[in-house]
C-alpha cells in the first residue's frame, strides 16, 4: 500500500456525474488539478448518473463546462485529451443494487489494472434526497467497508433542520465511519477563509487584542448581487438562513472566534470550531424578533438592468414567504468574547457581490485631541476581504497633512493578487485535493453541523410560525430590509457598507 496518501492511485466516483455541480465545479476543478500535476497517478473519474448518455457524449459535455467555468478558460486539446481519457460513464438508477454490483466490478477491474488497492472517493453530487439511499447502497455492496481506502463526500444542504440533519448523519454513519465522511462547505476551501487561520495564528501581533478587551463588535457580510438564478425550486424551500447562515456564515464565525489550536491536525481544528458553536448563546423564541431580521427582494436594479422580484422568479411560489435576506445577532459566551456582539448578514440581489468580515475595535479610552480634530474619527477596524477582492485592510486614524491636527481614517492594505501574483485555486480544487488525500481539516464534522442547526432552530421555528406581513421588503439593488438596519442600530452601531474595492490598488 502507498504510504503517502497524496500519491495513492485514486478513483473518484461522482454520483450525479452528469449534473450541474459536476459540470460547473467538479470537473473544472479536477482539470485544474490535472494541469497543476496534483492528481495521483494513475487517476480516474467514474461518473454515475441516470441520464441516457455515453462516455463520449459526457466527455464533450464536460469540456463545455471547463470552457465556461474553469478559472483558466477553455482547455487545450492535448491537456484535455490526457485528462478526459480517465473519465468513464455508468448509467444507473441510484436505488438499484445492480448498479452497485456493476460499480464494484468496475472498481475491482481498476485495482487489477493498476495492480494496487486504489483509494475510492464517492462524491455525492446529487439532490440531497438521494444521499441516504446512495450511502446505504454503497454500504450494502460492501463498498464502504475498508475505511482506509473508501471515503464519501457530501455537500450541503445537510438536512433542512436539526432533526433531518441528525437523520442524515445517522444514515451516513450506519454505513461509513466518521473519519470516512467528508462534509463540504465550499467556503472553507476559499483561500481567504483559510488565511484567517494563518493571519490569526501565524502572527503574534493581533492575537493579544483579539478579544473582548479590545474588540467592540464584529460584522460578517456575505452579499450577492445575483438573485436565485435557475435554483428557485430548491431555494424556495430553503431561504437565506438555511442556504447561507447555517453553513457558510457560521463557519466564518467559527474561524474568527475559535481558540488557538494546539496543532493543525483535523480533529484539533474541528474541536476548536465546535467549541465556539457550543458557546454561542441560544436565542430564545421570544427574542427572535430582537436578534434576527429577514427580507425578500422586490423588483429593482442590478448591474444597470431592471430585474424582477423574488416572487416572479422561475420555480418560486407567487405568494412565497421565503427569505432571501437574513441578519442575525449572536453572542459567544466565553472568556474571550463575552458580550461582544457578532452581526451576520447575507442576502441576494444586494448592490454588490462582496464578502467580508469586519472586526470593529473599541474607541480609545480617552480622546485627547480637540473636538474639531476628529470630525471623521472612527475606531480602528480590521477588514478581512474574502471576495471578490481578496485581502486584508487595517483601517486606523492618521493625521491629515497640514498645519492643523485633523484626523481621518486611512487604510493599510494587503492584496492577495498584488502580493502573490498568482491566480488562487478555486475552493473545489482545494477541497477535492484534500478529500482525495484524506485530510479532513477543512470539512465539517457531524457534531458541528448539528450544533449549527440547533442554534438556528428557534429562528426557523418562529419565522415559520409567523409569516412575514411585509414581503417583499427590500428593492433589488439595495442593502436589504430596514429590519437589518434596526438590528444593529438599536445597539448604536452600523454595518460597514462595502464601498469600493477595499483591497484594490
Q: At what angle do helices 77-84 and 27-35 cross, to 10 degrees?
A: 110
User: Does residue number 243 form part of the binding site for ligand BG6 (CB under 6 A)?
Assistant: yes
Q: Kindly give, in sequence order, each residue whose CB lies less than 8 Å from that of residue 208, ignoring residues fewer than 6 positions away.
A: none
Task: Give the catalytic positions in this structure.
Answer: 248
Angle at 220 between CA 289 and CA 448, to 5 degrees: 80
Least Cα distance to 396 among 436, 364, 355 occurs for: 364
3-class SS of residue 3: coil
Distance CA 187, CA 427 (A): 7
CB of 438: closest distance to ligand BG6 in angstroms?
Answer: 24
Determine if 236 is a binding residue for ligand BG6 (CB under 6 A). Answer: no
Answer for the pair 149, 117: CB distance below 8 angstroms, yes or no. Answer: yes
Nearer to ligand BG6, 118 or 249 (CB): 249
Q: Which residue carries 469600493 as its cell? A: 500
Looking at the Cβ atoms of 49 and 224, the one nearer to ligand BG6 is 224
To the nearest whole angstrom, how small is the minimum distance from the Cβ of residue 363 to ligand BG6?
33
Q: Which helix (H) or strand (E) holds 273?
A: helix 266-279
Cβ nearer to ligand BG6, comparing 135 with 249:
249
Integer Rg of the chain from CA: 24
CB of 238 to ligand BG6, least distance (A): 8
The mark string for 172-211 relative to ligand BG6 (x by CB under 6 A, - otherwise) is ----------------------------------------
With cell 410560525, the residue in question is 465
Residue 224 interacts with ligand BG6 (CB under 6 A): yes or no: yes
Name the minimum Å distance from CB 224 to ligand BG6: 5
Grid coordinates belonging to 294: 429577514
Q: Are strands 354-361 and 215-223 parallel, antiparallel or unpaired?
A: antiparallel
Residues touching ligand BG6, count (CB under 6 A): 2
CB 240 within 8 A of CB 323: yes
CB of 243: closest distance to ligand BG6 in angstroms? 5
Smallest distance, ligand BG6 to C-beta of residue 49, A: 21
Nearest residue (CB) to ligand BG6, 231 versus 272: 231
Position of minimal CB gap to ligand BG6: 243
Residue with cell 445517522: 170
Closer to ligand BG6 at the Cβ: 143 or 238?
A: 238
DSSP secondary structure string, 298-349? Answer: EEEEETTEEE--GGGSTTS-TT----SEEEEEEEB-STTTTT-EEEEEEESS
Between 120 and 294, whose beta carbon lies closer to ligand BG6? 294
The answer to whether residue 313 forms part of the interface with ligand BG6 (CB under 6 A) is no
Cα separation, 259 vs 261, in Å, equals: 6
Pairwise CA distance, residues 330 & 344, whole Å: 8
Q: Which is nearer to ligand BG6, 156 or 395 (CB)?
A: 156
Angle at alpha carbon of residue 70, lines to 53 and 387, rounded to 5°: 130
Q: Cβ of residue 108: shortest distance to ligand BG6, in angstroms?
A: 36
Q: Which residues bind ligand BG6 (CB under 6 A)?
A: 224, 243
Amino acid at each position: 500500500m502507498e504510504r503517502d496518501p497524496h500519491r495513492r492511485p485514486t478513483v473518484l466516483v461522482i454520483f450525479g456525474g452528469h449534473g450541474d455541480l459536476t459540470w460547473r465545479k467538479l470537473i473544472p476543478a479536477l482539470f485544474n488539478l490535472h494541469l497543476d500535476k496534483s492528481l495521483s497517478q494513475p487517476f480516474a473519474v467514474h461518473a454515475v448518473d441516470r441520464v441516457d448518455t455515453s462516455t463520449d457524449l459526457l466527455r464533450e459535455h464536460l469540456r463545455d463546462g471547463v470552457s465556461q467555468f474553469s478559472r483558466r478558460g477553455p482547455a487545450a486539446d492535448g491537456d484535455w485529451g490526457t485528462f478526459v481519457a480517465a473519465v468513464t460513464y455508468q448509467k444507473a438508477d441510484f436505488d438499484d443494487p445492480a448498479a452497485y454490483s456493476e460499480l464494484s466490478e468496475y472498481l475491482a477491474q481498476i485495482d487489477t489494472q493498476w495492480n494496487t488497492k486504489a483509494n475510492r472517493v464517492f462524491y455525492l453530487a446529487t439532490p440531497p434526497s438521494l444521499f441516504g439511499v446512495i450511502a446505504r447502497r454503497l454500504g450494502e455492496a460492501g463498498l464502504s467497508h475498508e475505511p482506509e481506502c473508501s471515503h464519501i463526500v457530501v455537500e450541503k444542504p445537510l438536512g433542512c433542520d436539526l432533526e433531518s440533519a441528525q437523520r442524515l448523519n445517522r444514515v451516513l454513519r450506519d454505513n461509513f465511519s466518521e473519519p470516512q465522511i467528508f462534509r463540504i462547505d465550499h467556503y472553507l476551501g476559499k483561500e481567504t477563509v483559510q488565511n484567517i487561520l494563518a493571519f490569526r495564528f501565524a502572527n503574534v501581533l493581533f492575537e493579544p487584542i483579539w478579544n473582548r478587551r479590545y474588540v467592540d463588535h464584529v460584522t460578517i457580510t456575505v452579499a450577492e448581487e445575483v438573485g436565485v438564478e435557475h435554483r428557485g425550486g430548491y431555494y424556495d424551500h430553503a431561504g437565506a438562513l438555511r442556504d447561507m447562515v447555517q453553513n457558510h456564515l457560521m463557519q466564518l464565525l467559527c474561524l474568527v472566534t475559535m481558540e488557538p489550536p494546539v496543532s493543525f491536525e483535523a480533529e484539533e481544528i474541528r474541536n476548536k470550531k465546535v467549541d465556539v458553536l457550543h458557546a454561542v448563546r441560544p436565542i430564545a423564541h421570544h427574542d427572535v424578533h430582537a436578534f434576527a431580521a429577514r427580507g425578500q427582494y422586490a423588483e429593482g436594479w442590478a448591474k444597470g438592468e431592471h430585474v424582477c422580484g423574488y416572487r416572479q422568479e422561475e420555480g418560486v411560489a407567487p405568494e412565497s414567504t421565503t427569505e432571501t435576506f437574513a441578519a442575525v445577532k449572536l453572542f459567544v459566551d466565553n472568556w474571550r468574547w463575552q458580550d461582544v456582539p457578532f452581526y451576520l448578514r447575507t442576502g441576494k440581489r444586494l448592490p454588490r457581490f462582496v464578502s467580508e468580515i469586519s472586526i470593529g475595535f473599541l474607541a480609545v479610552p480617552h480622546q485627547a485631541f480637540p473636538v474639531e480634530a476628529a470630525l471623521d474619527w472612527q475606531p480602528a477596524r480590521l477588514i478581512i476581504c474574502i471576495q471578490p477582492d481578496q485581502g486584508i485592510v487595517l483601517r486606523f486614524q492618521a493625521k491629515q497633512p497640514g498645519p492643523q491636527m485633523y484626523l481621518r481614517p486611512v487604510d493599510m492594505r494587503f492584496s492577495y493578487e498584488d502580493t502573490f501574483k498568482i491566480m488562487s485555486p478555486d475552493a473545489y480544487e482545494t477541497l477535492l485535493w484534500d478529500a482525495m488525500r484524506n485530510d479532513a481539516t477543512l470539512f465539517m464534522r457531524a457534531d458541528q453541523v448539528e450544533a449549527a442547526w440547533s442554534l438556528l432552530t428557534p429562528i426557523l421555528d418562529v419565522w415559520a410560525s409567523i409569516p412575514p406581513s411585509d414581503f417583499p421588503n427590500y428593492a433589488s439593488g439595495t442593502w436589504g430590509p430596514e429590519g437589518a438596519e434596526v438590528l444593529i442600530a438599536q445597539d448604536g452601531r452600523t454595518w460597514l457598507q462595502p464601498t469600493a474595492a477595499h483591497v484594490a490598488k
